[in-house]
Structure 1
Amino acid sequence: MKTLTIYIAFLFASTLLFLNRYSDLYINNSITHFILLIIASITLILILGQVFGKLKTVKSRLLTVLIVVFVCFIQSFLTWGGDWKTQTILYRNLTNDNNTIEFQMRGDRFSFGYKKRVINRLKLFPGFDWTTDIDTNKINHKQWKKLNLYVNEMKFASN
């Protein structure tokens, strides 16, 4: 039962991370992303330790978990570019309130300035969105209500 739980946790966490990386699924919370990375890494190491007959003592497992958490933290710190933050909700879908077109910005960690994008954001559940790039000139205005709601998640000073 314990082994099955480890396999399920690895499958769940790694699938979400792969979908975040290689599809339009977006994990919009850096803490959630970090926790999934730690779960996937630790369960992979435990599975490999079981396959190769290593990590038999509690002390070796605990030390391995601490090392994996430290390495994941360093990796996340060095590669994380920042979360996309909504500045303005441009449109809201008339049939689905969880579907919006938003202007978002992200501050780059090691360079000056911001990246910008306009996306179609479908909120799946807390922490997870389905985002696609969209051209606002080509949308069907019969399906969208124009909002121009200034959200300012980047917390810029307003005049």
Structure 2
Amino acid sequence: MKHILIYILFILTAALVVLNRYTSLYINSSILHFIVLFTAASSFVIIIGHLFGKLRTIKSIVITFLIIGGITLGKAFFTWEGDWKTQTVIYKNIENGNQTIEFQLKASRFAFGYRERIIERLKIVPLIDWTTAVDTTALNKSKWKRVNIRINELNLPMEAGN
């Protein structure tokens, strides 16, 4: 029974990692992303260890977790650019309150400045969104209400006059 739970855990977390990487699904919390990546890698190694008859003791499993934790922390440190942070919610969908059009910034860790984007964001569950690039000039105004809500998740200083 516990082997089946490890297989299910691996399938779910590996699917989330792949979907986050190759589709518009976006895990918007670096902590959740690390936990999902760590769980996928750990469960995969435990499955392989069980298939080859290794990882039979608690000590070997704990050491494996520590090694995988170190590797995933290193990967996160060297590849993490930062999270996209909402600065302004520009539009809100009239029919679905979980669907917004937002102006977002991402601080670059190894370069100066910010990357910016305007996206349509559908909040699926807390910390997981479906995001797509959107052109606000070709927007169907009958489905969207302009709200211009300043969120400022990066806590940038407000410009004069704003």
Could you tell me the TM-score, scaled by structure 2's length? 0.96
1:26 aligned onto 2:26: yes
1:89 aligned onto 2:89: yes
Return the letter of the residue paired with 1:148.
N
Structure 1: 5+ residue runs without aligned partners?
none
Partner Cα separation in structure 1 for residue 60 and residue 112 of structure 2: 43
- 1:54 is displaced (CA, Å) by 1.4
In structure 2, the partner of 1:156 is 156
1:103 aligned onto 2:103: yes
- Superposition pairs for residues 43-82 of structure 1, below 5 Å? 43-82=43-82
1:141 aligned onto 2:150: no
- 1:47 is displaced (CA, Å) by 0.5
Could you tell me the TM-score, scaled by structure 1's length? 0.98
In structure 1, the partner of 2:9 is 9
**4+ residue stretches of structure 1 with deviation over 4 A?**
none
Partner Cα separation in structure 2 for residue 55 and residue 91 of structure 1: 52
Return the letter of the residue paired with 2:133.
D
- 1:157 is displaced (CA, Å) by 1.2
* SS of the residue 1:123 aligns to: strand
Partner Cα separation in structure 1 for residue 57 and residue 137 of structure 2: 61
Q: Deviations over 1:99-148 (max 9, x none)?
A: 00000000011111110000000011101100000000011001100111
In structure 2, the partner of 1:125 is 125
* SS of the residue 1:54 aligns to: coil
Q: Cα RMSD between the aligned structures? A: 0.8
- After superposing the two structures, state which structure 1 stretch, 114-123 or 45-54, moved more: 45-54
Return the letter of the residue paired with 2:108.
D
Return the letter of the residue paired with 2:31.
I
- After superposing the two structures, state which structure 1 stretch, 47-56 or 95-104, moved more: 47-56
Q: Quote the sequence identity (%).
A: 48
Return the letter of the residue paired with 2:51.
V
Structure 2: 5+ residue runs without aligned partners?
none
How many aligned positions are there? Answer: 159
- 1:51 is displaced (CA, Å) by 1.2
Partner Cα separation in structure 1 for residue 57 and residue 127 of structure 2: 36
Return the letter of the residue paired with 2:30.
S
